[in-house]
């Protein structure tokens, strides 16, 4: 259907097909990755907004952003100048919806550079806007990378002046402006660690939530004034998590079987990313509801918690920042209540939480840090020590810095006999 839609001539037909394609995707979450044979375009189009909405819906419902973009790279060389411009605008929308960590930008930047010399001024402007948006998310590595692309110095000067304007405006994604070398020094890939899940191949289901222009603003696209301690809007800390522990609907547990049924339903939602992101957020809050209702007093809860570990890991890797935040709050709450009984889950989830630290979306990065600090305060488990120390040599500046902070916390708060084990 996607290929047919590209070839339609009439605006009315194209818009109709856009809506008909997006509707079933949103309702069913069917994997439509096989239909992604090219970029949006054709001799006439319904407009960039509809194209972008459809493509972001596909990223949301059927395939992860990188999988879609691997099949759209040809759009940068499309003979139709409106298509070339539209692909640039769609990249900006993808960055604002998912953050730089969802894309391998080193594959995309050379195509954008080639459009800086496009004969059409609108395409040149869109390409420039793309580079500025990538710089806003990734930081100074973009400037370094562009010097290796063979661009004329006069063009580089114009690009760098735009970068300087963004830097002065205060609209940089905070982690990109402060952690300039937190990943691969030779690429402009977003804030993702080497083991990030966003670099995987084609998925079987969606890994995000609502659509770019239709979604609520996320921290990755925040442009407002800095929040607490100079962080961007959306940044969180331990105090925020403590206040959010009981921000969950009231539930009652009538029996151990009732608890088991509730946990199985929660696990089913969290383990299947075809469920809407809001359902996943609600499921995570339900875990805290069960804790407040006395789940810890029921026999078998520890075993049920172990069975939930894969679902928690999947939630902490989610591309939707609200899901990641709720997952981190819930894990922090479990550690707070269980103490050292949370040891196995803490060991299992810690590498995933550390992968959040260099994320360019501030709410994800700070959620990971806050969760790790809560776990280290309340779960004194010796096997967490090598996980932290091994990351002190990470390529990410952010990870190295935070791991030394975590070690300081452990040395300060853990009993000596635990540290000696």
pLDDT tens string 268-282: 999 987 888 899 999
* Domains of the chain by start residue, with CATH: 2-199 (1.25.10.10), 225-420 (1.25.10.10)
| Mean pLDDT of the region 199-214 | 38
Q: What is the pLDDT of residues 131-187, one digit of tens each?
A: 999 998 888 888 888 888 888 888 888 999 898 888 888 778 765 443 333 344 344
| Mean pLDDT of the region 32-55 | 52
Report the first-to-last Cα separation within the chain, whole angstroms. Answer: 61
Return d(Cα 252, Cα 262) in angstroms, integer: 11
- Give a three-class secondary structure readout of 347-400: HHHHHHHHHHCCCCCHHHHHHHHHHHHHHHHHCCCCCHHHHHHHHHHCCCHHHH
Task: Quote the DSSP letter at residue 318.
Answer: -
Q: What integer pLDDT is reported at residue 379 of this predicted model? A: 94
Tokens encoding 385: 């020590």
Query: Within 13 Å, how many C-alpha atoms sit on residue 258's CB side?
Result: 10
Q: Looking at the predicted structure, is the pLDDT value of residue 117 above 70?
A: yes
Task: Quote the DSSP letter at residue 421.
Answer: -
Cβ contacts of residue 392 below 8 Å, gap of 6+? Answer: 400, 403, 404, 407
Torsion of CA 23, 28, 29, 32, to 10 degrees: -70
Return d(Cα 394, Cα 415) in angstroms, integer: 27
Q: Is the pTM of this model over 0.85?
A: no
| Mean pLDDT of the region 188-213 | 40
Tokens encoding 194: 């080497």
């Amino acid at each position: 259907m996607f290929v047919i839609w590209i070839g339609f001539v009439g605006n009315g037909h194209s818009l109709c097909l856009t809506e008909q394609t997006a509707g079933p995707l949103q309702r069913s979450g069917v994997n439509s990755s096989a239909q992604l044979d090219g970029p949006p375009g054709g001799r006439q189009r319904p407009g960039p907004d509809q194209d972008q909405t459809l493509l972001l819906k596909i990223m949301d419902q059927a395939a992860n952003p990188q999988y879609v973009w691997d099949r759209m790279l040809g759009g940068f060389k499309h003979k139709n100048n409106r298509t070339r411009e539209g692909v640039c605008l769609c990249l900006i929308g993808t960055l604002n919806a998912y953050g730089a960590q969802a894309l391998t930008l080193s594959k995309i930047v050379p195509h954008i550079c080639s459009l800086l010399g496009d004969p059409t001024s609108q395409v040149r402007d869109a390409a420039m806007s793309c580079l500025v948006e990538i710089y806003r998310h990734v930081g100074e590595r973009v400037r370094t990378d562009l010097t290796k692309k063979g661009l004329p110095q006069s063009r580089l000067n114009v690009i760098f002046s735009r970068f300087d304007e963004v830097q002065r405006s205060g609209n940089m994604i905070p982690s990109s402006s402060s952690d300039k070398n937190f990943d691969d020094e030779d690429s402009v890939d977003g804030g993702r660690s080497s083991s990030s899940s966003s670099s995987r191949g084609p998925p079987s289901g969606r890994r995000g939530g609502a659509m770019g222009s239709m979604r609520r603003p996320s921290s990755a696209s925040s442009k407002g004034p800095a929040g607490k301690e100079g962080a961007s809007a959306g940044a969180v800390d331990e105090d925020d998590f403590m206040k959010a522990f009981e921000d969950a609907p009231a539930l009652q547990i009538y029996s151990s079987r009732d608890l088991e049924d509730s946990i199985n339903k929660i696990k089913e939602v969290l383990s299947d990313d075809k469920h809407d992101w809001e359902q996943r957020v609600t499921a995570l809050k339900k875990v805290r509801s069960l804790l407040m209702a006395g789940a810890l007093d029921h026999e078998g809860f520890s075993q049920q918690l172990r069975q939930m570990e894969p679902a928690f890991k999947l939630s902490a890797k989610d591309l939707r920042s609200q899901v990641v935040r709720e997952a981190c709050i819930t894990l922090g709450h479990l550690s707070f209540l269980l103490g050292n009984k949370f040891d196995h889950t803490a060991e299992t989830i810690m590498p995933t939480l550390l992968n959040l630290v260099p994320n360019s979306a501030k709410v994800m990065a700070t959620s990971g840090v806050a969760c790790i600090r809560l776990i280290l305060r309340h779960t004194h488990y010796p096997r967490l020590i090598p996980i932290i120390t091994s990351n002190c040599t990470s390529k990410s500046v952010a990870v190295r810095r935070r791991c030394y902070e975590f070690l300081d916390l452990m040395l300060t708060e853990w009993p000596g006999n635990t540290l000696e084990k």
